[in-house]
Structure 1
Amino acid sequence: MMPVHDLLVFAGASLLLVLTPGPNMLYLISRSLCQGRAAGVISLAGVVLGFGVHMLAASLGITALFMAVPLAFEVLKWAGAAYLLWMAWQAVRPGGASPFNPTLPLQAASPRRLFAMGLLTSILNPKVAMFYLSIFPQFVSAAHGSVFWQSMTLGMVQITTSFSVNLLITLFAAHIARWFQGNPHWLRAQKWVMGTVLAGLAVRLALEQRR
């Protein structure tokens, strides 16, 4: 049984992941702003299925890796810390564009195409792949039972968190865009808070020892 504390910390990391602009967020917001809420929700369904693909692949891969190469933990740990530091820089770097201001309008697409494009965007999203492969191992311990089921549990936490936040963003993209346009100082503050927390999490993972 995984400790509640670890699940809460992981949920926080998942929240930061979904709040950090990336291909999924950019696509969902653009689709919602250009074609409406219904199109955004259909696209989100495809994105969530893509999360499931990442979850299953990572759960199977991490289980095999932990059993075959114990030192792989160290490699993944430092890769995860470096990745979080990169995300922190992306959050605070100057000149970053707001995802709520899409530069190119999207043409209307059928529901089937919306779902397929959401799925493909999610599966090919390097941010999600890196998160699953480098962050998962930091919260998995052989002492807590099956590595596979621990990974699946973490995956469900990530999917639930990402779905909930992305759904709200998709439904209220237009309102959020107008609010940020009228309150740019809050957008700057959000970037620095997110960057600081991500950097702190990177340090935490770098200091983590194999359990």
Structure 2
Amino acid sequence: MDGITNLWAFMAAGLLLNLTPGPDTFYILGRSTAQGSKVGLLSALGIGLGSLGHTLLAAFGLSALLATSAMAFLAVKLLGAGYLLWLGVKMLRRPGSSVASDAARLEAARPGKILREAFFTNLFNPKVALFFLAFLPQFVKPGATALSFVILGLSFVATGLAWCTLLALLSARLGDWLRRQGVAQRLDQLCGGLFILLGINLLFARLKH
């Protein structure tokens, strides 16, 4: 696809990241368990809209940077590769998803509040914003327009929303499985290892140029 490189690698990495248990996962599980699958679906929608906001902000911000300075965009790519390395090491060292206990502390709320809460929780999460800024540039070619970033971001949001919807509908079975420390830890290790390999590959690719 014009402007995009290694699309299938991006899709695979994005899918694996979405499958890895995190705050969004257990927020949806908590809402679905406490108030039913419909409320869980609202939570998934709110999180998906938040991710869409990150996509648009990253797309137009990074494309503007690319148009202004090729060196600045290269610096963003190098910093992004370093961030992916750091994130991978952190995930390998994490003893399992500790955020699972947060689901038990969620209080019942009205649907409108839940949608807003899920949206703003995702949108104002600096870690999510930093990930989008680090991850998306690695898969675009020099001279790419905002459309390339938007396509990548929408692909990531689509896979994430599909997984979150499945979580909401099958919260009982998937929740018990994902809360097992061994499962969560293996997913963390798999995703962490992938990010380390991706970060190393990206750093060496940039240094060769």
Normalised by the length of structure 2, the TM-score is: 0.85
Matched residue SS, 2:127 = helix
Is 1:200 aligned with 2:171? no
Q: What is the 5 A alignment of 1:147-158?
A: 147-158=145-156
Residues in 1 aligned to 2:67 and 2:3: alpha-carbon distance in whole angstroms: 22
**Cα root mean square deviation, aligned:** 2.6
Residues in 1 aligned to 2:16 and 2:49: alpha-carbon distance in whole angstroms: 20
- CA contact under 8 A between 1:23 and 1:125: conserved in structure 2? no
Measured after TM superposition, the shift of residue 179 of structure 1 is 3.2
Residues in 2 aligned to 1:63 and 1:78: alpha-carbon distance in whole angstroms: 16
Q: What is the 5 A alignment of 1:96-107?
A: 96-102=96-102, 104-107=104-107
User: 1:27-79 CA distances to partner (integer Å, 9 max, x unpaired)?
Assistant: 22222222221111101111111122111111111111001121122322222
Measured after TM superposition, the shift of residue 109 of structure 1 is 0.8
Aligned length: 208
Which residue does 1:123 correspond to in 2?
A: 123
Matched residue SS, 1:71 = helix
Matched residue SS, 2:107 = coil
Measured after TM superposition, the shift of residue 208 of structure 1 is 3.2
- CA contact under 8 A between 1:85 and 1:198: conserved in structure 2? yes
- Structure 1 residues 78 and 191: CA distance shift in structure 2, 3 A: same
Structure with a larger share of its residues in helix:
2
Q: What amino acid is aligned across from residue 202 of structure 2 in structure 1? A: L
User: 1:54-111 CA distances to partner (integer Å, 9 max, x unpaired)?
Assistant: 1111111111100112112232222222222232233222444354443642111111
- Structure 1 residues 121 and 10: CA distance shift in structure 2, 3 A: same
Measured after TM superposition, the shift of residue 113 of structure 1 is 0.4
- Structure 1 residues 36 and 89: CA distance shift in structure 2, 3 A: farther
Matched residue SS, 2:206 = coil
Residues in 2 aligned to 1:33 and 1:174: alpha-carbon distance in whole angstroms: 7
Q: Which runs of 5+ in 1 are unaligned?
A: none
- CA contact under 8 A between 1:29 and 1:99: conserved in structure 2? no
- CA contact under 8 A between 2:76 and 2:134: conserved in structure 1? yes
Measured after TM superposition, the shift of residue 7 of structure 1 is 1.2
- Structure 1 residues 33 and 207: CA distance shift in structure 2, 3 A: farther
Q: What is the 5 A alignment of 1:4-43?
A: 6-43=6-43
Q: Which runs of 5+ in 2 are unaligned?
A: none
- CA contact under 8 A between 1:51 and 1:122: conserved in structure 2? yes
